[in-house]
Structures are given as C-alpha cells and as structure tokens.
Amino acid sequence: MGGLVDESTLSYDERRRLLFDSFGSTKKKRALRSQQANVVEMKSVVGAGDGMMDALGKQGDGAVSQSNLEAMEEVRKGEGDDGKGGLIPSMTTKAVQKAEDAARRSYLPPYDPTADAPHKVYDSQELAGEDAWNQISRQVDKCIHPNNNKQTAELDFVDDTQWIEALQRNKWFPSTQTLLATIKSPSQKRGAKYQIKTVVLVNQLLIFHTKFNKTFVPEATVSDEYIERGGDPSASPALLMAKYIGLPVDACTTFLALYTTPSHDRGKAGYAVTKQLKDKRVLHILVMYLLAHGRGMKVASIESLCDDLRIGVKEAGSLYRMAGCKMKKGKGGSTSVSLSVPLVFPPTGKRAARK
C-alpha cells in the first residue's frame, strides 16, 4: 500500500480524478477519461504557438505565401507577451495588416500606397513590363511620328484623324475606340503619349480577355491550315500562341504569365484560368481603363467597358472598390468611377463583416 497523498500539492484535475477513482461509478470514470483525452493544449492549436507553423508546413511547399508565413510568425512570437498566455493586440493587428497587404499586391496592379496624386497610384508601364511596354511604345511612335527622320531626330506629327486611324488598323473595342477619340493630339497635350499607350494596353487586354473566356485554353500548334495560310512550320510556341490570340508576342507572353497557369487537360497542353485569375484580369482591365482617362482619374460611365468585358456593372463596382475606387450612380443611369488620395482600401474578412 502506498503512503497518504498530500492533497494540498494536487491540482484541481488531479484531486477530481482521485475522487472519481475512489467513489465514482464505472460510467463516470469512463466519462472522465474521455474528457481528459479530448483536452487540447494551446501550443497545438493552429493559430497559436508552434502548432500553427507546423500545421501549415504539412500542407506542402508553396501552399502559403512567404509574406503570410512571416506575418504568422510574428503572431507566434507575440504569444504570451501580455502575461496571460495571449497575444498583444498591436502585434496581432500588425501581422494581419501585413498579410492583407500581401494579398492585395497579389491581385491588384502594382500600386503606390503613399502616392500624393491619384494618377500616381497605379502605373500601366509597370503592369505591362519592359518588353510589352517597349512594343506598345514602338507601335504608338510609328503611328504618331510616321515621318520620323532618325538622322535629324525631327518629329512630324500628323493630324488627329490619321494617327488614330493608324492605331486602329487591328481589332479594337467600342470602349477603347471612344476613349482614344477623346485624347488630344500628342503635339498639343503633355502626357498624351502615356495616355495613348495605356489605351493600347487596355485594348490588348480586352483582346486577351475575349480569347480566354474558358477555364482551359489549349496551346496553339502548327496545323495544316496554318501552313496553307503561309505560316512558318518552325514557328515557336510563343509566336503560335500570339498569332492565335491576335497580339504581339511580348504582350501575349506577359498576359499568359499574369493571368493563366500552364496545365494539361485530356492529354493536351495549355493554359488554365481559375476564377481568381479571371477576376484578377478583369480588375486589372478596369483599373487600367480608369488610368487611361488621364490625370483626373475619373470615368463618367463604365457601361461601355462592362459590355466589352461581358460583365455586369455591379460586378465591376465590387472590383473597383477593391482597388480603392469610389462608385457613383448618375441621374441619367450611368455609373461613374473615381480614385482619390490618400488611397484607402475597403476592410476585408471579419473587419468588413463588422461594418
């Protein structure tokens, strides 16, 4: 027989178990053991302590972005700092904000949250990338400076009608055609060339959008029909895809990287388009369309663009608000969009639900 137990040194759970062992029924003892087996320690809870990082690590490499892992690591390090085994509110808020910022940058066009003017928040050149933007620049320069003398570097501007017609030789959409017609000649308006290039980018994005309206688009290949039309049988996959979409190679390559994922379907190589990637593409087009309206960053009506995108005004409004824009319904029924600074994004997740 063992000696007497000093009850003053026992915890509540230990005293309770001792009592049940001595006087409890078999049923009550079984219930107590079940309760003890279901106890979960805080360190094992996902969202608190090392268990959070371990659990996420088991999901597989790349399942969680590096920025979000860093944010969660900050929360983990903050555990217990309030002296009660909890998290300091400021530490949690900072980590959440960091994760939200990383998420926004994954779906919004490149932006400057500290911009001191609305037209400086987003940048079409940065979205397009160096190669695609250089191609657009060459195209625009060729149309508005057809008599460029490389030896004397003299630029002869043609009239407004001619340079617009020259730009619109390929496929254009009603929304971008109308917008291009409102831009004054580059010889008369400062910053007009950047605005024109942004309109060209929007039009290219719309061409890409209409071709990628399915969840999977097969990779373009050399066909008999292609060769019969005079196509090069040794053309690269990038060139073949660009011809299929109807875009310059640089623009096509950039858009495929931004808005699709290389995939296979029924043995065919191609490009998958998830709903998230489609929404990202539409959001980028909406923001670039706003930027193409000039330094004022205001569009009087988005209905024409919504028709070209084949989306509702309500859906466009939700996406615009994600980019920090404001919507306004006019007396005539048209919906206007504007952007102002300082840039303010709408709340997300639980913070949005509490509003």
Using one digit for the tens of pLDDT, what is the confidence trace for 147-162?
665 443 444 555 656 8
Q: How confident is the model at residue 190 (pLDDT cuts 50, 70, 90)?
A: low
The whole-number average pLDDT for the span 76-94 is 56
Q: Model confidence over 240-257: pLDDT tens digits?
A: 999 889 999 999 999 999
Of residues 282 and 170, more confidently modeled: 282
* CB count in 10 Å sphere of residue 111: 20
The pTM is what? Answer: 0.72
Burial 280-298 (b: 16+ CB within 10 A, else e): bbbbbbbbbbbbbbbeebb
d(CA 58, CA 50): 13
DSSP string, 97-111: HHHHHHHHHHHSPSB
pLDDT at site 234: 75
- The mean-pLDDT minimum among 97-101, 105-109, 247-251 falls in 97-101
Residue 226: burial class (beta carbons within 10 Å; 0-12, 13-18, 19+): middle
How far apart CA 30 and CA 20 sit, in angstroms, is 10
Q: Which helix (H) or strand (E) holds 199?
A: helix 192-211
Q: Which of 10-19, 56-65, 248-257 has the weakest average pLDDT?
A: 56-65
Q: What is the pLDDT of residues 345-355, one digit of tens each?
A: 987 655 554 45
- Which of the 8 DSSP states describes residue 60? -
Q: Is 140 exposed, middle or buried (0-12, 13-18, 19+ CB in 10 A)?
A: buried
In the chain, the amino acid numbered 324 is: G
* C-beta of residue 327 within 8 angstroms of C-beta of residue 317: yes
In sequence order, the β-bridge partners of residue 149 are 154
Closest CA to 236 of 225, 215, 250: 250
CA atoms within 13 A of residue 223's CA, in its CB half-sphere: 10
CB 175 within 8 A of CB 166: no
pLDDT above 70 coverage of the chain, percent: 64
Strand order in the sheet with 335-338: 298-299, 335-338, 326-329
Residue 289's pLDDT is 98
Which range is least confidently modeled, 24-28, 72-76, 244-248? 72-76
- The pLDDT confidence band at residue 54, using thresholds 50, 70 and 90, is very low
CB 324 within 8 A of CB 339: yes
